[in-house]
Structure formats: C-alpha cells, structure tokens
Amino acid sequence: MTSRAPAKIILFGEHAVVYGQPAIAVPFETLCATAEAVVAPRKTGLIIRAHDTGKEFRVLREGRTTHALAIAAQLVLREIDAPTLDLIINVRSTIPVASGMGSGAAVTTALMRELSRALGKPLEGESLNKLVYEIEKLYHGTPSGIDNTVIVFGHPVYFIRGTAPELFSVGKPLTLIIADSGIAHSTRETVGDVRSLYDADTPRITSILERIGALSQLARPAIEKGDESAVGALMNENHTLLAALTVSSEVLDRLVQAATDAGALGAKLSGGGRGGNVIALAQPATAERVEMALRDAGAINTWQTVIQR
C-alpha cells in the first residue's frame, strides 16, 4: 500500500495567520508526496529511502539523528510505542521544494501515515497533525500550523492559530491556476522579516494584518456561496497587503498583473512570498488564457486545478 499527502495552497491570510488572524488554505491534489512501506529481510531494521534527494537513513527508535525524516519516523515509533521492524519506506514527492506548496509537510505526513499504518496503528486527524507540526518547527521555526493542518486533513480549512481547524466546503468549484515563479524562497526568512517590521512599527503592521484577517473572514462565506467575483476581488486586495508587508517581489507582482490582465478574477502570491508561487482564480473559459499569460510572464511551471469539495 502507499500513503499520500497533497500539496497545499494558501488562498487567504498567509503571514497574518502567524499573528492569530484567520487564514484559508486548500489541498492541491495534483502534486503530492507518497510513502510506500516494503517488508525487508530480517535484521534490516527501519530504512527510509528519500528518492528525490537520493538519501537513505537507518532509523533507531532512540538513536540521535538530525535529518527531519528520521526524526519524523522516531516520533511515530515513540507515539505508538512500537519496536522498530524490518521495513523499507520509499518516500517520493512531486511537489517543488521551497515553492510555498508545503513539500516538507507533505513528505512528513505521507511518511508518518505510512509508517503508523505499517505498524498496525494508523495515525490520522489531530493525532497525526500534532506530530507533523513538531517536524514543521524544525523546518520553519514557529510556524502557525496552517500548512500541516490542510495537508493532513486534505480538505479546505479555515484556520486560526491555536484553535481547532474548521473544515468547510466550496459552494461552486473554484478554477485555480498555480504558477511557480521558479524562485526558491525561505518561509523562515520572510516570516522573520515581517516580524522585524512588526517590531519596528507595531500599529501600522497590526492594521495591515487585521485587514488581511478581515479578508479571510469575508472570503469564507463568499467561497461557500460560490461568489467567485467577490473571492477574486478579495485575493487582489490580499496581494496588495502582502506587498505592503514586503513579501512580494517584482517577479511575483508581474505574474499577478499578467494573470489579471488575461482575465483572472483575482490573483495573489501564495505562501511565504518573495518567490514560490502565485495563484489566480479564473472562470473555466478563461483558465487557458490566464495560464498562457502566466507562462509568458515567466512562470517556470503552471498547473490548473479545480477545488470542488
């Protein structure tokens, strides 16, 4: 059997979510991480093969290790109080790294899901989410938890840090085009830069963060009702506010502009910013044109997806 975990897209509220504002994220099923457990010969122990990086680790329940995947496996072994067994877990991912689509959280989720399943005590829901978050902290410092939550639950989520995630449904399918700028970005760095801005001018930054939170509050009923024009307008405003937080860039602004000029209902950067990806909301009839425009404007890769749950 193979366990999987999807990529994620933040529709509204990145960065503001770190400060307790609501945010909205959806799974992006086209790209995913997978983990496949294969029984190994006796005395092999637990081996993780990360095929994308060509790395391989032997995991001991209590041994000292520094690699995030090995730590993730140890967390599972301790959580379900299992001895290590003779198992090889093959981990693969189609999610571009450092693109703002949650590749780290997805790989961790797939691995933990598969290992716990192979051990006969499948971890799911909040118990899995809690463990994936521990690994997210290794990658990102003090993440809000939105990435692991949407990836673990695989469902659109309205998320406020420190509260139970609210899963909700879209009223009408949303056609999204995702464009990878090809520029790797560090979420840790952009989150840190927003923190410095916040410390330097708390009242101004607070009002931007609160407005972003208000956009998420307005977006949820608009998505639930299927009011695409309203959702698009809110995305445009969200992008402008992210630019005011200095996490956009010339390239991301150009992609957003190209999508809007080609008829997108709205567009914004998604995730940590300064690189990574841009998302555009289109009508099915204009999706192709918007996608071409994003490619012409320099996106190294684009995907169309329909969010319909």
Residues carrying an active site annotation: 147
Please, what is the minimum distance in Å from the beta carbon of residue 274 to ligand MEV?
Answer: 11
Q: Does 22 bind ligand MEV (CB under 6 A)?
A: no
Please, what is the minimum distance in Å from the beta carbon of residue 178 to ligand MEV?
Answer: 14
Q: Which residues are 167's β-sheet partners?
A: 157
Q: Which residues are 34's β-sheet partners?
A: 4, 92
Rounded Cα distance, 131 and 18, in Å = 19
For ligand MEV, the binding residues in 171-230 under the rule CB under 6 A are: 187, 191
Q: Does 101 bind ligand MEV (CB under 6 A)?
A: no
**Stretches 14-22, 57-65, 178-186, 255-263: which one binds ligand MEV (CB under 6 A)?**
14-22
228-244 helix and 250-261 helix, angle to the nearest 10 degrees: 160
Q: Which helix (H) or strand (E) is 220 found in, with range?
A: helix 202-225
Among 5, 7, 9, 10, binds ligand MEV (CB under 6 A): 10
Nearer Cβ to ligand MEV (70/275): 275
Among 5, 9, 18, 255, binds ligand MEV (CB under 6 A): 18
Please, what is the minimum distance in Å from the beta carbon of residue 248 to ligand MEV?
Answer: 13
Question: DSSP string of 16-83?
Answer: GGGGT--EEEEEEEEEEEEEEEEE--TT--EEEEETTTTEEEEE-SS-----HHHHHHHHHHHHTT--
Rounded Cα distance, 143 and 145, in Å = 5
Nearer Cβ to ligand MEV (18/70): 18
Q: Sign of the C-alpha dihedral, residues 258, 264, 265, 267?
A: negative
Q: Does 46 bind ligand MEV (CB under 6 A)?
A: no
Nearer Cβ to ligand MEV (18/293): 18
Q: What is the DSSP letter of 96?
A: P
Site residues (CB under 6 A) for ligand MEV? 10, 14-15, 17-18, 100, 140, 143-144, 146-147, 187, 191, 271-272
